[in-house]
């Protein structure tokens, strides 16, 4: 504890003399899978193959470690110490390095790092070529473990698109109802393989009835409307097409695909989900 006397300056007590309550023994025999800090706002830098440069964005960061049953608590300040080792920006190729640093600095068996951030895709309108930037949500999830071959990395993206109802088109004298949809894909890569965010985005958006764009002039709007009408899909069609596309991608060994269609004529949303580990023969539900 810091001590003062009248007229004296503040005297600092060395940290080595302070009790380390977090490191004390806990007797409840309950290990904790994840403990740490959430919702840190932090700048990151990502390589951008479309421009040959980098893209700067801001991530929401979660940092956790596993806590053994005998230890009362973790040292929360150490998470930020690890993050701030990387100064003002965290580069995308440093994610696993940061995760390993966390595990070592907090003396843990395993560590987990999650970053969620907006990423901007350069997209031109389909007819006029008007330039625009489409924002998508990207998440990186990394895990580092003391156990051999137990490191893990998952990339996920959320992609907006359009779906048009096949049933509505079939039964209506004219027109068909359509809706915005959000497709989310999570993937694990084969050893030594990876995909750019843009690569995975291109695979995903092809599986909807049609794409969405940041900028549309009248000829572009006509094209988008007619493209959706010519390619009607239920939410079930979208996730099956997503699964088929990822089955054909040898860089991916595991995936989850889901689509949520924000209905325009119902007061509910439609949803479908598929998960598959391509290293196994069975699809999990």
Give the pLDDT of residue 285.
47
Say if strands 32-48 and 53-67 run parallel, antiparallel, or are unpaired: antiparallel
Residue 136 has pLDDT above 50, yes or no: yes
φ, ψ (nearest 5 deg) of residue 103:
-60, -40
Under CATH, to which class is 36-150 assigned? alpha beta
Supply the pLDDT for residue 190.
94
Q: Which residue has the higher pLDDT, 147 or 57?
A: 57
Domain coordinates of the chain in residue numbers?
36-150, 158-285
What is the per-residue DSSP string for 99-120? HHHHHHHTT-SEEEEEEEEEEE
Structural domain 158-285, CATH architecture: Roll (3.10)
- Residues 154-191: tens digit of each pLDDT: 999 999 999 999 999 999 998 888 899 999 999 999 99
**What is the residue-averaged pLDDT of the chain?**
89
3-class secondary structure, 45: strand
Model confidence at 127, pLDDT cuts 50, 70, 90, reads: very high
Mean pLDDT, residues 3-13:
54
Q: What is the pLDDT of residues 85-102, one digit of tens each?
A: 876 667 777 889 999 999
Q: Do 36-150 and 158-285 fold alike per CATH?
A: yes
Say if residue 221's pLDDT is above 70: yes
């Amino acid at each position: 504890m810091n001590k003062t006397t009248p007229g004296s300056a503040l005297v600092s007590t060395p940290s080595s003399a302070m009790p380390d309550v977090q490191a004390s023994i806990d007797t409840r025999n309950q290990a904790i899978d994840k403990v740490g800090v959430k919702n840190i706002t932090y700048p990151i830098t990502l390589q951008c193959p479309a421009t040959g440069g980098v893209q700067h964005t801001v991530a929401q960061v979660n940092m956790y470690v596993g806590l053994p049953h005998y230890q009362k608590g973790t040292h929360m300040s150490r998470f930020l110490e690890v993050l701030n080792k990387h100064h003002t920006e965290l580069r995308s190729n440093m994610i696993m390095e940061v995760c390993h640093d966390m595990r070592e600095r907090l003396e843990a068996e395993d560590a987990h790092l999650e970053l969620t951030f907006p990423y901007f895709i350069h997209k031109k309108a389909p007819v006029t070529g008007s330039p625009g930037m489409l924002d998508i949500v990207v998440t990186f999830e990394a895990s580092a473990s003391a156990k051999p071959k137990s490191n893990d990395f998952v990339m996920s993206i959320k992609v907006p698109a359009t779906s048009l109802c096949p049933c509505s088109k079939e039964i209506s004298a004219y027109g068909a109802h359509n809706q915005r949809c959000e497709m989310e894909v999570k993937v694990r890569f084969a050893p030594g393989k990876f995909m750019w965010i843009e690569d995975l985005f291109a695979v995903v958006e092809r599986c909807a009835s049609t794409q969405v764009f940041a900028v549309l002039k009248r000829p572009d709007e006509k094209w988008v409307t007619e493209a959706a009408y010519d390619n009607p899909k239920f939410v079930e069609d979208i996730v099956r097409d997503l699964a088929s596309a990822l089955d054909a991608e040898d860089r991916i060994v595991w995936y989850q695909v889901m689509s949520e269609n924000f209905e325009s004529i119902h007061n509910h949303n439609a949803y479908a989900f598929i998960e598959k580990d391509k290293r196994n023969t069975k699809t999990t539900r």
